[in-house]
Amino acid sequence: MNLRLLYHGHCFDGVASAAVFTRFYRARIHRAADVSYTGLLHRPGALFDEAMFDGDENAIVDFKYAPSNKLTWWFDHHQSAFLTPEDEAHFRADRSGKKFWDAESKSCTEFIARIARERFDFNDEQLQPLIHWAHVIDGALYESPAQVVELRAPALQLMQVIENVPDEEFIEWLIRELTARPLDDVALSAEVQTRFQPILARHRETLELIRRKAIYARGVVQFDLVAENVAAFNKFIPYYLHPETTYSVAITRGAQRTKISVGSNPWSPRPRTHNIATICERYGGGGHAVVGAVSFAPEEVEQARAAAREIVAELSPPD
């Protein structure tokens, strides 16, 4: 019996969700299931095709809903979980008892664990550190910006590897390891640490780059890293460098997309007054109330810059 498990790729919560769902599925649904993994990324255009759903059962975790009759299981916690109103109607008409959505959950990993415990009597203590850190990371429940920027905790080092290593086979290896071994054992393994050390060096370089390029005004810090060929960055660097800010807006470009990242400072001296997911949805993106993103084609840099300027203007309080 084959389960195809699609998950939010290069995301700690997505990887942790895949690991927790795998443990649950084998414990309560099909003990001998052969699980195949596919990472999904937000990008312009269609996110799914029917060929993706090639398992005897198919599951999506921590990613948007697909209105496919081949989709068996679905868990998500994003406000922007549905591409269209028709997709949401399709979900709400489902009576399988295997598709779940809770936009109030801080992490999809915690959501899966809660549903598995409450509805399927599944609880695995070995998974608790993984569930805890997914909750902290995806919910931005850090003690301080320094905790997440200085990266001393093994789980945060693993987070950096997941977000920055492009090797899909290695990410799949991580999921399989996290289903079998404690979180810290995986995070401190030689396979992870040899990949983390060069990432840490680049992270420190990016920290200094953002220090030079970031502009703060009227509650918003903004920067553009397209010319520097930076595809990703630690989203808490803006708050580490500018603790006075309420919001951050950044533009990056990678091989697959030009991206606007929009965030809010959990430690802001002023309260957040905007729903970031709602703002990003107007440009074809989405996310949560506190963080979101918009994806453009790689060549659509100027369109992304124009949208970013509009977002900055909206987030900036009037004089």
Residue 63 has pLDDT above 90, yes or no: yes
Are 101 and 240 contained in the same domain? Answer: no
The beta-strand segments (E) located in the chain are: 2-8, 34-40, 57-61, 73-76, 99-101, 215-217, 220-224, 247-253, 258-264, 286-287, 291-296
pLDDT score for 41: 85
Count Cα atoms within 13 angstroms, Cβ side, for 145.
18
Residue 304 has pLDDT above 90, yes or no: yes
The type of residue at 2 is N
pLDDT score for 215: 98
Residue 319 has pLDDT above 70, yes or no: no
Q: Which residue has the tokens 């951050």?
A: 248
Work out the burial of residue 34: count CB atoms within 10 Å of its CB; fewer than 13 is exposed, 13-18 middle, 19 or more buried.
exposed
Are 218 and 126 contained in the same domain? Answer: no
The radius of gyration computed from the CA coordinates of the chain, to the nearest angstrom, equals 19
For residue 170, tell me if it sits in a domain: yes
Are 114 and 241 contained in the same domain? Answer: no
DSSP 8-state symbol, 33: P
Residue 40 has pLDDT above 80, yes or no: yes
pLDDT (tens digit per residue) in 264-279 = 999 999 999 999 999 9
Are 158 and 17 contained in the same domain? Answer: yes
Q: 48 pLDDT band (50/70/90 cuts)?
A: confident
Are 104 and 252 contained in the same domain? Answer: no
pLDDT (tens digit per residue) in 84-111 = 999 999 999 999 999 999 999 999 999 9
pLDDT (tens digit per residue) in 236-249 = 999 999 999 999 99
Residue 47 has pLDDT above 80, yes or no: no
Maximum separation of any 2 CA atoms in the chain, in Å? 63
CA 214 to CA 113: how far, in whole Å?
39
Q: Which two tokens stand for residue 279?
A: 């703002």
For residue 199, tell me if it sits in a domain: no
Average pLDDT over residues 24-43: 93
Residue 288 has pLDDT above 90, yes or no: no
- Report which of 221, 293, 211 is spatially closest to residue 258, judged by C-alpha positions: 293
For residue 200, tell me if it sits in a domain: no
- Domain extent, residue 275, equals 214-315
Are 172 and 235 contained in the same domain? Answer: no
- Report which of 256, 43, 52, 300 is spatially closest to residue 166, judged by C-alpha positions: 256
Q: 192 pLDDT band (50/70/90 cuts)?
A: very high
How open is the CA angle 22-65-285, to the nearest 5 degrees? 115
For residue 133, tell me if it sits in a domain: yes
Q: Which two tokens stand for residue 213?
A: 């390029």
How many domains does the chain contain in total? 2
Q: Is residue 158 within 8 Å of 164, Cβ to Cβ?
A: no
Are 174 and 222 contained in the same domain? Answer: no
